Amino acid sequence: AETCATCHPTYYESFSQAEMGRSFRRATLADSDAPWDGVAPVYDAARDLYYQPFRRGEALFVREYRLAGRDTVHQRVEQIDYIVGSGHHTNSHIREENGYLYQIPVTWYAQVGRWGLAPGFESAGSRFSRPITEACMTCHNAMPGFVAGSENRFDRVPLGIDCERCHGPGSVHVREKRAGNLVDVAREVDYTIVNPGKLPPDLQMNVCERCHTQGAAVFREGRGPADFRPGMRLSDVEHVFWVRSADSTARFTMASHPDRLRMSACFEGSRRPSASGRGLAPMTCLTCHNPHVSIRTLGADHYDAACRNCHAPERPGAAPACTEPGVVRAGGTGNCVACHMPESEVTDIPNVRVTDHFIRRPDGAGRAAALSEDEVEARAAFVRLASLLGGVPTDLEAAEGYLTYYEEVTNRPGVLDSAAALLDRASRTTPLPRLAPALVRLLFLRGDYAAVRVVAREVDAEAVDDAWTQYRIGEAFAATGASEAALRPFRRAVALAPHALRFRVKLAGALVATGAVEEAVRAYDAVLEADPTFETAYNDRGWARVLLGDLAGAEADFRQALALDPDLEEALANLASLYYNTGRPAEARPLVRRLLRLDPTNPDYRRLEALVEAGA
């Protein structure tokens, strides 16, 4: 972007203050939109944990803690490294450990002016360990330096969406201009750079849809999150699937603007031949939005002016003008958007309202009568997944859409049934090696580990170059007691994705189960050197140290695991058992009580409680 600024300083200065230009930045007090002094803690009732944002000078932090009466029985402090979001709707937050990026559990909700749990954290137990993947980063930021073979590691983190995200790679453009090769004005188009405004309407929409069409993304064979370039057809890179229900017109997610716009009669009508005959251009995102300019700087009539480009009574053949009496338009809202594109809550992010881009008459779907609870439930019922970007997905791609939707959005078994039906259809034309990753994924999600093992034997799993498939096969062997057989797929997963720490932890666990404990400890050491906050690795290494007779080292590991996650059941049980077996039942007692609060009916915890109470 700094290179672009040498020739385009006005655009650079404007865009750097616009919402996309402020999408991702270093976490400092000066760059935050949120308050940090004297902030009331956010309480997570599901896990009985408090989160308090605070600062030390310019540096920003979050303190996690738990109270027992007036005593603090757990505390963890993490520094925030990055802020995500312009502050128009939210500021979310990210921490970094040696290039591994994780989301912080709290978000500033600007529209309501308060802190709250980050979206999705009400139901997920990830706390400080939700990974920021390449797919996340490539929409919220400029193109990052993603470390291949990792889940969430980056060797370069840009600071904000930049010029190339919409204009494509700029090196050829810069080289040509510096060489004095300017564009003949008569040619109008400079083919060394993409000008989205000069793309055909659908390709222009694709530039925006890459990040503003939310759903279950399925990348086409050989493609990934970083492969789209402006000017390409997006459906050649990925399909995005999202639910259609009986009430899809009233329920929508945050990043669904293009999909909502496509439902509109305005959008459809602008593409009819009669519209072009009236001198109207096909409607796109750029009809109303200038990405170079912050919406904070726009006048009150900016969007009305866009509407009047088509709905102009003085223009012959124009679309119909507003028919409401002047007194209605002048009173209350007094603008087109407020009636025809009302602000609405979204289904995936709390405390956020956005302009609904489904343009419609206010006496239609936008002003539905009050519904009973049964009617609301019926309208929200899942019907199918739709492909939002055009193109025709294969049966295999559609099945992968259902699997992704199941993993990321819902755990309804019927979603897996739909995936199974599509995979069965795909199997008639798709060779098993190509089908295997999706088939293994389906069976793994169903918990049918015996069937995963059968597929692994039939397909020659060693030849499958997909780390997640190898990981799932390894898990299937480990879950069915075949630890020795699990070693090969786990080793293969680590070879394919050497920086994916969860794969390394699983391999180390299989090594412990097969007696290669010292090798396992070295594997855990490597994981914790890469990320010293990987709590389960401390617990697992602690158990390996118990097997080696290093009880002091094991105790230190179990304690560190619980310092990071006070509810990690395995660490609670392991440390309580270690205390009991080393003659310290009184120290074991509070850990056992915590275990029973987490899982009151667990028979192993009940037996441990009896032993501890008898010993005490």
pLDDT, tens only, 339-355: 888 888 888 899 999 99
Say if residues 269 and 319 touch (Cβ distance below 8 Å). Answer: yes
Q: Do 262 and 172 meet the contact criterion of CB atoms below 8 Å apart?
A: no
Spatial separation of the C-alpha atoms in residues 559 and 587, rounded to whole Å:
12
Cα–Cα distance for residue pair 490/482, rounded to 1 Å: 12
CA dist., res. 158 & res. 212, Å (int)? 20
Element (H, E) at 345: strand 343-345
Task: Quote the DSSP letter at residue 196.
Answer: G
**Confidence bin at 114 (pLDDT 50/70/90):** very high
Please spell the DSSP secondary structure of 495-563, one letter per residue: HH-TT-HHHHHHHHHHHHHTT-HHHHHHHHHHHHHH-TT-HHHHHHHHHHHHHTT-HHHHHHHHHHHHH
Arithmetic mean of pLDDT over the chain: 91
Q: Compute the C-alpha angle 131/132/138, nearest 5°.
A: 155
CB atoms within 10 A of CB 357: 21
Give the number of other Cβ atoms within 10 Å of residue 599's Cβ. 13
Instruction: Answer whether residue 318 shows pLDDT above 80.
Output: no
Backbone φ, ψ for residue 505 (5° rounding): -65, -40
CA–CA dist 542, 521 (Å, integer): 9
- pLDDT value, residue 375: 61
Task: Give the C-alpha distances (Å, rounded to integers) separating 212 from 140, 248, 250, 516, 575.
Answer: 10, 17, 18, 48, 47
How far is residue 133's CA from residue 442's CA, in Å, rounded to a whole number?
Answer: 22
Indicate the pLDDT class of residue 305, thresholds 50, 70 and 90.
confident
Residue 562, token pair as written in the block: 């619980």
Is residue 368 predicted with pLDDT exceeding 50? no
CA distance 92 to 349: 12
Query: Are 105 and 47 in contact, with CB atoms under 8 Å apart?
Result: no
What's the rounded Cα separation, in Å, for the pair 115 and 44? 12
Chain centroid to CA 324: how far? 42
Angle value at C-alpha 88, between 50 and 298, nearest 5 degrees = 165
Classify 425 as helix, strand or coil. Answer: helix
Which amino acid would we find at residue 605?
A: Y
Confidence at residue 333, expressed as pLDDT on a 0 to 100 scale: 55
The whole-number pLDDT of residue 374 equals: 67
From 563, 511, 498, select the one nearest 540 (Cα to Cα): 511
Which percentage of the chain shows pLDDT scores above 70? 91
Examine the pLDDT at 366 and tell me if it is beyond 50. no
Q: DSSP secondary-structure letter at 474? A: H
Q: What pLDDT band is residue 362 in, cutting at 50, 70 and 90? A: confident
pLDDT tens string 197-228: 999 999 999 999 999 999 999 999 999 999 99
- Please give the single-letter amino acid code of residue 239: H
Residue 367 pLDDT class (50, 70, 90 cuts): very low
- Residue 282 pairs in a beta bridge with none
For residues 54 and 371, what is the distance between their CA atoms, to the nearest angstrom?
Answer: 43
Binned at pLDDT 50, 70 and 90, residue 279 comes out as: low
Question: Which H or E run contains 103?
Answer: strand 100-103
pLDDT at 182: 84
The stretch 274-293 carries a mean pLDDT of: 84
Percent of the residues in the chain that have a pLDDT greater than 90, as a whole number: 76
Residue 439 neighbours by CB under 8 Å, 6+ apart: 423, 432, 455
* End-to-end CA, the chain: 67
Q: What is the DSSP letter of 130?
A: E
- Asked if residue 490 lies in contact with residue 482, where contact means CB atoms within 8 angstroms, the answer is no
pLDDT digits (tens, 9 = 90+) for 451-484: 999 999 998 877 899 999 999 999 999 999 999 9
Angstrom distance (rounded) from CA 389 to CA 235: 6
Supply the DSSP string of 64-86, one letter for each residue: EEEEETTEEEEEEEEE--EEES-
Give this prediction's pTM: 0.92
* Cβ atoms of 98 and 501 closer than 8 Å: no
Nearest to 88 by CA among 165, 21, 1, 12: 21
